[in-house]
A and B are shown apart, each in its own frame.
Chain A
Amino acid sequence: MNAPASREFTKGFSKSNPVFVLLLGLCPTLAVSVTVHNAVGMALAMTFVLVCSNVIISLARDIIPPKVRIPCFIVVIATFVTIVELVMQAYMPPLYKSLGIFVPLIVVNCIILGRAEAFASKNAVGASLLDGLGMGFGFGWALVLLATVREILGHGTFFGYELVPGFQPALIMILPPGAFLSLGLMLGWINWRRSRRARRRQDTAPPLKLE
């Protein structure tokens, strides 16, 4: 039980990372990655909704009739999104303001509905919880990586602190085109690394086949 459980948790980091591999949840990834601060806030909100909805849906998986399962999932997800909205409005109004409409739009994020449909509705509570945590963190690191690149190049800062005094920031990186370009290049880099690794594995394969 231990080995598969840890796999449920880590698969979201690289092997089926929601952003870089499955290409899900792209709208908030691009829109919110202007500063690392926003990215961390969004990632935490997403993880909370993902974990809670996964647990509830997994608990109720035998009660929900298969025919109306999607509307049921959406209601569960929307409830937790409303909780996040209210908490953020009350305790973090500046963050709520800068994330804007992307807080209510967590409802239609394909990662959450995708995990509910593909995993939580078929698996036990513990596994679903780990799956939600892993996917949330996988989404989070992708978002923070993109935000780091964009904030350093576009603002010359990291988490609001100036890095290199006198650095002339490239404004384009914090405008919409910078988001598309940096995600495109990042996906290209990941593809390049993956194909290089596959080639290396092929190079070492023949001696194994010979024996």
Chain B
Amino acid sequence: MGIGEAFAILISTIFVYNFVLSRFLGLCPYMGVSKDTGSAIGMGMAVIFVMTLASAVTWPVYRFLLAPSTSNLWYQIFGGDPASYDLTRVLRTITFILVIAALVQFVEMFIRTVSPGLYRALGIYIALITTNCAVLGVAVLNVDMFFQDAQPVAASYLKSVLQGFGAGVGFMLAMVLMSAIRERLDLADVPEPLKGVPIAFIVAGLMSMAFLGFAGLI
């Protein structure tokens, strides 16, 4: 994988297919935590961290436990026909959500013991991330997009991790922009029925329109 390809993945996940504004993933925290810039940055950091890690962990799980190949762990143990160990359809969703839930729990415990200061800043956001559909979304998208037979293994893995990181950065970008606008909106003269969430959605619509401008980039 060349540097150009890596750059293309980053640009496409951050701008062109922004997870929030064009793929509609992670809207609950996007609307819930974007009321002030400080918490938007905290949530954004936590999401970048967990998404990169989740991409890095779910890919090997998919490759060595679920996908049919000669490097499948069950084939290594039990032998037989490697094609008969195809668990991707039946177990993908359950495995991914459990791996992500365990990972989030582990990250929370790790940060709490290693750095109490960071935990105080990010702790509540990390707990909220398990039900963030963007994290499961990136794991599923990774195996859908990059897990094909033609792909060399190392390149496919690097692309997945990069897409996880880029998706997190795109989420943080959309979130910080939104929180800056919402801080100003508090002072604006918004019609009574549109106050709060409705106007936030209309602002998100305008932002998403602006992000459509990146569409020709890739």
Contact = CB atoms under 8 A, between A and B. Distances in A.
Interface of A: 23-24, 26-28, 30-31, 71, 74-75, 78-79, 81-82, 85-86, 89, 101, 104-105, 107-110, 113, 172, 175-181, 183-185, 187-189, 191-192, 195
Nearest to B192: A195
Interface in B196-218: 197-202, 204-206, 208-209, 212
A78 B93 contact: yes
A172 B24 contact: no
Contacts of B23: 31
Interface of B: 21-28, 31, 89-94, 96-98, 101, 131-133, 136-137, 140-141, 144, 191-195, 197-202, 204-206, 208-209, 212
A87 to B, nearest CB: 11
A183 B199 CA distance: 10
A74 B98 contact: yes
A92 to B, nearest CB: 15
B92 A183 contact: no
B24 A184 contact: no
Nearest to B205: A180
Contacts of A110: 28, 131
A26 B24 CA distance: 8
B200 to A, nearest CB: 7
A24 B200 CA distance: 15
B89 to A, nearest CB: 6
A188 B212 contact: no
B69 to A, nearest CB: 21
Given A78-B94, A104-B92, A180 B197 contact: no
